[in-house]
Amino acid sequence: AQSVTQLDSQVPVFEEAPVELRCNYSSSVSVYLFWYVQYPNQGLQLLLKYLSGSTLVKGINGFEAEFNKSQTSFHLRKPSVHISDTAEYFCAAVSGGYNKLIFGAGTRLAVHP
C-alpha cells in the first residue's frame, strides 16, 4: 500500500534546541518527497522538496531534510528552533501519474521558552 508515516504525533522542544521530525514512506510511492508547514487555521506552505540529486535538501526557515533510500526515510531537521517554528508539519510523497500527494498524519511541533 502507498503510505507516508510520521512517527511522532507531537514533539515538544525547548527554544534553541535541535529538532528532528521523522518521516518514512512506503517503497510503492515515488521518491518525490516534500515537507510542508501549517500554522493554525491556515493552508500549507512548502518547506522543502526532494526530487533528485543531492540527498541533503535545504529549505526555508533554516530547515533541512535528508533522503535515505535504504531506510525509506526523509527526516526533517533544524539545528536551533525558535518559538515561531511552533506549527504542524506534514511529510508528503507524490503518487501516481496525476501528481497526487499522499500525506502523513502530521507532527505538531511545540517550541517552549
Partner 1 sequence: DGGITQSPKYLFRKEGQNVTLSCEQNLNHDAMYWYRQDPGQGLRLIYYSQIVNDFQKGDIAEGYSVSREKKESFPLTVTSAQKNPTAFYLCASNLLGNTEAFFGQGTRLTVV
The strand pair at 33-38 and 87-95 is best described as antiparallel
Among 1, 27, 43, 54, binds partner 1 (CB under 8 A): 43
Beta carbon nearer to partner 1, 12 or 79? 12
Should residue 9 be labelled a site residue for partner 1 when binding is judged by CB under 8 A? yes
Among 75, 104, 109, 111, binds partner 1 (CB under 8 A): 104
- 45-58: string of b/e by CB count within 10 Å (b at 16+)? eebbbbeeeeeebe
Should residue 99 be labelled a site residue for partner 1 when binding is judged by CB under 8 A? yes
Beta-bridge partners for 86: none
Q: What distance in Å separates the CA atoms of residue 103 and residue 94, rounded to the nearest whole number? A: 9
The residue to which cell 497526487 is assigned:
100
* CA contacts within 13 A on the Cβ side of 60: 8
Should residue 22 be labelled a site residue for partner 1 when binding is judged by CB under 8 A? no
Should residue 45 be labelled a site residue for partner 1 when binding is judged by CB under 8 A? yes
Q: Smallest distance, Å, CB 103 to partner 1?
A: 4
Kindly list the residues in this chain that would bind partner 1 in the complex (CB under 8 A): 6, 9, 32, 34, 36, 41-46, 49, 51, 90, 94, 98-101, 103-106
